[in-house]
Amino acid sequence: MWTITTDVEAYAREAEPFLLTDPVGNTVLLTVLADLRQGMPADGARFGWWTDGGQVRGAAFRTPPRPVCLGLMPAEAVPPLVEALGGDIPEVVGPLELTQAVARALGRTGDVLAERLYRLGALTTPGVPGAGRLATGADLPVLIAWTQAFFAEVRLNAGEDLVTHTARRLAARELFLWEDDGAPVSLAALSPAAGGVCRIGPVYTPPSRRRRGYGAAVTAFASRTGLAERCDQVVLFTDLANPTSNAIYRSIGFQPVSDYAQVTFQA
């Protein structure tokens, strides 16, 4: 049985213990919950948990205009979720088999962005010129420009004004830069720790600075900082259509966990 609510604290009370049983598989749900607690806007948000045999065994949420986000759950929980949401699922993101189950329950096809969840094993630091550092307030203009460029390039919706989004992440000490020859050349973000897990993303290098290893270097730096100061594990998602980025992350120690998808349903 699904319970759907607009009360984030009720959702946290019921669903968070379940989410923490697999903080890697539920990384997005846990980090969004942490962001909501830190004041991220969520107008029109809806949260849900699946109860079976008196135990919570699944969770999902939507913070418009972002997609419906699926946590781990049994496949049989998907059709009742679609029904509980009244079929109002323009987009969905989550484990591949669950997004496929949503498409079947809706009887619709959609545009699929195939992703893979990686977890960091033994970190290998690449030999790249320059050094990493935590971003500061003086970096805000370049951080905003690069964040805007990233979201435009990947055609994703940040869910809030990008200036506000970037400033919020900067204030939370989530943004890292790689510098070479005194100038910033690449950006990586690190989510707040949730269940002992931090997530890298986004990673952005301006086109003129690509193919020099800067993206790998800043990712490794942010990951090392996270493990040293903030969390026990580091994860990230990759676009499976980009073999270069997948190879880069594997080269510094990230290992595949499972496949995910974001599906935008046709009107």
All structural domains of the chain with their residue ranges? 2-108, 119-259
Least confident of 17-26, 160-169, 243-252: 160-169
**pLDDT band at 266, cuts 50/70/90?**
confident
The pLDDT, as a whole number, for residue 39 is 80
The pLDDT, as a whole number, for residue 108 is 92
Q: What's the mean pLDDT in 5-30?
A: 97
The pLDDT, as a whole number, for residue 267 is 65
Q: Is the pLDDT of residue 118 over 70?
A: yes
pTM: 0.93
The pLDDT, as a whole number, for residue 157 is 64
* Helix/strand/coil (H/E/C) assignment for every residue in the chain: CEEEECCHHHHHHHHHHHHCCCCCCCHHHHHHHHHHHCCCCCCCCEEEEEEECCEEEEEEEECCCCCEEECCCCHHHHHHHHHHCCCCCCEEEEEHHHHHHHHHHHCCCEEEEEEEEEEECCCCCCCCCCEEEECCHHHHHHHHHHHHHHHHHHCCCCCCCHHHHHHHHHHCCCEEEEEECCEEEEEEEECCCECCEEEEEEEECCHHHCCCCHHHHHHHHHHHHHHHHCCCEEEEEEECCCHHHHHHHHHCCEEEEEEEEEEEECC
- Taking domain 119-259, whether its CATH number is 3.40.630.30 is answered by yes
Q: Read off the pLDDT of residues 134-190 as tens digits, 9 standing for 90 and up.
A: 999 999 999 999 999 998 888 766 656 899 989 999 999 999 999 999 999 999 999
Q: What's the mean pLDDT in 33-57?
A: 91
Mean pLDDT score across all residues of the chain? 94
